[in-house]
Amino acid sequence: MAKLLFPDFLDYPASYDAAEALWKARFDALAENYQFAYAPYINLFARNGDKHRDGNPIFCAEVKTLNRAVRIIQEVIEEPDDFFISAWLDTFPIDEDNPLNELVIPLVLSEETLEIAERLIVHWLVEQRSKEEMERVLGAELALLG
C-alpha cells in the first residue's frame, strides 16, 4: 500500500503549503544537482491576491534555456488504496510563435509517485529526451504500474 503524503492538502492550507514546499525542495535539489535555473510560469494567485489552492498546478517550473516546463497536478485520493500517476506532453501558450513544451504529471502524492515523477522530470529536463523518446519513456514508466 502506498504511503500517501499530505492526503488532506485541499482541506488545510498548512498541508497544501507543505505539499508545495516538498515539490519546491525536490525541484531545487534537481536544479542544483544538474545546474539549471527555473521559474514558475503559471500564476497561482487570483486578482484579489488569494492563492489558488486546487492542486492544478501544485507546482510548475519553466526552464527558459530549454523551452521546457513541468506542471505537477496533485489530485485528491478517491479510495484508500489509490495509487495514481499519469503523464503526457503538451504545449503551454506563453508565446504564440514559440509555445512552451510542457511535461504534465497528475498524481495522488505518495512516496512511490514522487519517485516516478522525479524520474520523468530527469528524463525531460536533464536528459532532454525528444518528444518521441519521452512518449516511449512515459509508456514504459506507466506500464510498470499496471
pLDDT in tens, 14-29: 999 999 999 999 999 9
Question: What residue has cell string 522530470?
Answer: 121
pLDDT in tens, 43-98: 765 565 667 788 999 999 999 999 999 999 999 877 666 678 999 999 988 777 78
CA–CA distances in Å: residue 50 to residues 19, 25, 42:
18, 23, 15
Residue 94's CB: how many other CB atoms inside 10 A? 15
Domain definitions of the chain by residue range: 13-143
Q: Omega before 57 cis (within 30°)? A: yes
| Residue 142 confidence (pLDDT) | 79
pLDDT in tens, 90-139: 998 877 778 899 999 999 999 999 999 999 999 999 999 999 999 999 88
| Residue 3 confidence (pLDDT) | 82
| Residue 136 confidence (pLDDT) | 93
- State pTM to two decimals: 0.90
